[in-house]
């Protein structure tokens, strides 16, 4: 099976959403991104670099657990790190706006 190579975000985002079909996956991404943003704010308030590490671990940790154990797929960030990072935050905002149900 030939894999798509996404060359623009507009085409990538529907694929990204298809890789996040379970509510629990979206919930774990939401939790991880929330912690990640929290630690990022802490970094900018204190300039303690440990918060950068905590931000990355929480953001990617929650997301990757959901992919490996719930979706049973590989995170898109392995092949599309920039698009995935952007898509994570767009999905986060869409969850806040009620577009995606997580409960």
- List, as one string, the DSSP characters of 8-74: SHHHHHHHHHHT--SHHHHHHHHHHHHHHHHHHHHHHHH--THHHHHHHHHHHHHHHHHIIIII-S-
pLDDT of residue 3: 63
5 domain residue, yes or no = no
12 domain residue, yes or no = no
**Residue 52's domain spans which residues?**
27-96
CA distance 73 to 79: 13
Rg (CA), the chain: 14
Q: Find out whether 12 and 80 touch, Cβ atoms under 8 Å.
A: yes
| Number of domain units in the chain | 1
Q: What is the pLDDT along the chain (103 residues), one digit of tens a residue?
A: 446 799 999 999 999 999 999 999 999 999 999 999 999 999 999 999 999 999 999 999 999 999 999 999 999 999 999 999 999 999 999 999 999 999 8
Q: Find out whether 25 and 66 touch, Cβ atoms under 8 Å.
A: yes
pTM, to two decimals: 0.92
81 domain residue, yes or no = yes
pLDDT of residue 4: 77
pLDDT of residue 40: 98
């Amino acid at each position: 099976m030939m894999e798509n190579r996404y060359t623009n975000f507009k085409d990538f985002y529907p694929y990204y959403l298809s890789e996040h079909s379970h509510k629990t996956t979206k919930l774990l991404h939401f939790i991880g991104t929330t912690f990640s943003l929290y630690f990022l704010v802490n970094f900018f308030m204190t300039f303690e670099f440990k918060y950068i590490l905590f931000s990355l671990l929480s953001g990617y940790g929650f997301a990757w657990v959901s992919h490996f154990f719930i979706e049973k797929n590989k995170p898109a960030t392995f092949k599309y790190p920039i698009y995935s990072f952007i898509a994570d935050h767009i999905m986060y905002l869409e969850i806040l706006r009620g577009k995606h149900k997580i409960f």
